[in-house]
A = this chain, B = another copy of it.
Protein backbone atom coordinates (compact mmCIF):
# COMPACT_ATOMS: atom_id res chain seq x y z
CA UNK A 1 0.00 0.00 0.00
CA UNK A 2 1.50 3.37 -0.86
CA UNK A 3 2.70 5.52 2.04
CA UNK A 4 1.49 9.13 2.19
CA UNK A 5 3.22 12.13 3.76
CA UNK A 6 1.75 15.64 4.04
CA UNK A 7 3.21 19.01 4.80
CA UNK A 8 2.89 22.71 4.07
CA UNK A 9 5.18 24.53 1.63
CA UNK A 10 7.57 26.73 3.63
CA UNK A 11 8.99 30.11 2.67
CA UNK A 12 12.48 28.58 2.68
CA UNK A 13 11.40 26.12 -0.04
CA UNK A 14 10.70 28.97 -2.47
CA UNK A 15 12.92 31.05 -4.71
CA UNK A 16 12.75 34.49 -6.30
CA UNK A 17 10.30 33.23 -8.94
CA UNK A 18 7.81 32.98 -6.06
CA UNK A 19 7.48 29.18 -6.05
CA UNK A 20 9.32 26.07 -4.86
CA UNK A 21 12.91 25.79 -6.20
CA UNK A 22 13.12 22.75 -8.48
CA UNK A 23 15.72 20.88 -6.40
CA UNK A 24 13.52 21.27 -3.32
CA UNK A 25 10.84 19.03 -4.85
CA UNK A 26 13.42 16.24 -4.48
CA UNK A 27 14.15 17.23 -0.88
CA UNK A 28 10.42 17.14 -0.06
CA UNK A 29 10.13 13.67 -1.58
CA UNK A 30 13.10 12.57 0.50
CA UNK A 31 11.21 13.66 3.63
CA UNK A 32 8.43 11.25 2.64
CA UNK A 33 11.04 8.49 2.27
CA UNK A 34 12.37 9.26 5.77
CA UNK A 35 8.88 9.20 7.27
CA UNK A 36 8.15 5.89 5.60
CA UNK A 37 11.38 4.33 6.87
CA UNK A 38 10.72 5.70 10.36
CA UNK A 39 7.19 4.26 10.32
CA UNK A 40 8.75 0.86 9.53
CA UNK A 41 10.84 1.04 12.69
CA UNK A 42 14.14 2.03 11.07
CA UNK A 43 16.24 4.38 13.23
CA UNK A 44 16.84 7.38 10.96
CA UNK A 45 19.79 8.82 12.85
CA UNK A 46 21.71 5.59 12.39
CA UNK A 47 20.41 4.80 8.91
CA UNK A 48 21.48 8.10 7.36
CA UNK A 49 24.89 8.27 9.04
CA UNK A 50 27.87 6.47 7.56
CA UNK A 51 28.48 3.35 9.66
CA UNK A 52 30.25 1.40 6.92
CA UNK A 53 27.15 0.56 4.89
CA UNK A 54 25.31 3.36 3.08
CA UNK A 55 22.43 3.44 0.60
CA UNK A 56 23.07 6.48 -1.59
CA UNK A 57 20.85 7.61 -4.42
CA UNK A 58 22.35 6.62 -7.76
CA UNK A 59 19.78 8.22 -10.06
CA UNK A 60 16.91 10.66 -9.84
CA UNK A 61 14.32 11.79 -12.35
CA UNK A 62 11.65 14.42 -11.90
CA UNK A 63 8.75 15.81 -13.89
CA UNK A 64 7.71 19.21 -12.57
CA UNK A 65 4.07 19.73 -13.51
CA UNK A 66 2.84 22.64 -11.39
CA UNK A 67 4.36 25.44 -9.34
CA UNK A 68 3.89 25.39 -5.56
CA UNK A 69 3.64 28.50 -3.39
CA UNK A 70 4.32 29.20 0.30
CA UNK A 71 1.41 28.06 2.46
CA UNK A 72 0.06 25.47 0.03
CA UNK A 73 -0.53 21.96 1.37
CA UNK A 74 1.01 19.00 -0.43
CA UNK A 75 0.84 15.24 -0.08
CA UNK A 76 3.56 12.90 -1.27
CA UNK A 77 2.65 9.28 -1.97
CA UNK A 78 5.47 6.80 -2.32
CA UNK A 79 5.83 3.30 -3.78
CA UNK A 80 8.94 1.13 -3.52
CA UNK A 81 10.04 -1.54 -5.97
CA UNK A 82 12.93 -3.97 -5.59
CA UNK A 83 15.52 -3.87 -8.40
CA UNK A 84 17.98 -6.45 -7.04
CA UNK A 85 19.14 -7.76 -3.68
CA UNK A 86 21.07 -4.53 -3.17
CA UNK A 87 18.99 -1.87 -4.90
CA UNK A 88 15.47 -0.44 -5.16
CA UNK A 89 13.48 2.27 -6.90
CA UNK A 90 11.03 4.69 -5.27
CA UNK A 91 8.26 6.42 -7.20
CA UNK A 92 6.80 9.56 -5.65
CA UNK A 93 3.73 11.52 -6.63
CA UNK A 94 3.55 14.98 -5.12
CA UNK A 95 0.04 16.52 -5.13
CA UNK A 96 -1.14 19.96 -4.20
CA UNK A 97 -4.26 19.69 -2.08
CA UNK A 98 -7.39 21.24 -3.48
CA UNK A 99 -10.13 21.10 -4.12
CA UNK A 100 -9.41 19.95 -6.68
CA UNK A 101 -6.16 18.17 -5.86
CA UNK A 102 -3.61 18.39 -8.67
CA UNK A 103 -0.45 16.39 -9.31
CA UNK A 104 2.45 18.83 -9.00
CA UNK A 105 5.39 16.49 -9.64
CA UNK A 106 6.42 12.90 -10.27
CA UNK A 107 9.83 11.88 -8.97
CA UNK A 108 11.82 8.62 -9.14
CA UNK A 109 14.94 7.74 -7.21
CA UNK A 110 17.16 4.65 -7.35
CA UNK A 111 19.08 3.55 -4.29
CA UNK A 112 22.05 1.17 -4.10
CA UNK A 113 23.40 -0.36 -0.91
CA UNK A 114 27.21 -0.23 -0.76
CA UNK A 115 30.17 -0.57 1.55
CA UNK A 116 31.18 3.06 2.07
CA UNK A 117 34.93 2.28 2.03
CA UNK A 118 35.20 -0.04 -0.95
CA UNK A 119 32.11 1.27 -2.82
CA UNK A 120 31.15 -2.35 -3.59
CA UNK A 121 27.52 -3.47 -3.49
CA UNK A 122 26.16 -5.08 -0.33
CA UNK A 123 22.83 -6.82 0.33
CA UNK A 124 20.21 -4.59 1.97
CA UNK A 125 20.12 -4.80 5.79
CA UNK A 126 17.16 -6.97 6.96
CA UNK A 127 14.87 -4.15 8.17
CA UNK A 128 15.41 -2.25 4.94
CA UNK A 129 14.82 -5.40 2.85
CA UNK A 130 11.51 -5.87 4.68
CA UNK A 131 10.55 -2.28 4.01
CA UNK A 132 11.26 -2.76 0.28
CA UNK A 133 9.34 -6.04 0.22
CA UNK A 134 6.33 -4.35 1.84
CA UNK A 135 6.37 -1.97 -1.16
Contact = CB atoms under 8 A, between A and B. Distances in A.
Interface in A3-62: 7-8, 10-12, 14-19, 21-24, 26-27, 30-31, 34-35, 38, 43-45, 48-50, 54, 56-62
A69 interface: yes
Contact of A19 (B10, B16, B27, B60): B16
A7 B8 CA distance: 11
Contact of A18 (B23, B24, B50, B71): B50
A67 interface: yes
A134 B59 CA distance: 29
B63 A61 contact: no
Contacts of A11: 15-16, 21, 30-31, 34, 44, 48
Q: Which 5 pairs from chain A and chain B are nearest by CB?
A: A44-B71, A14-B16, A23-B26, A45-B69, A23-B23
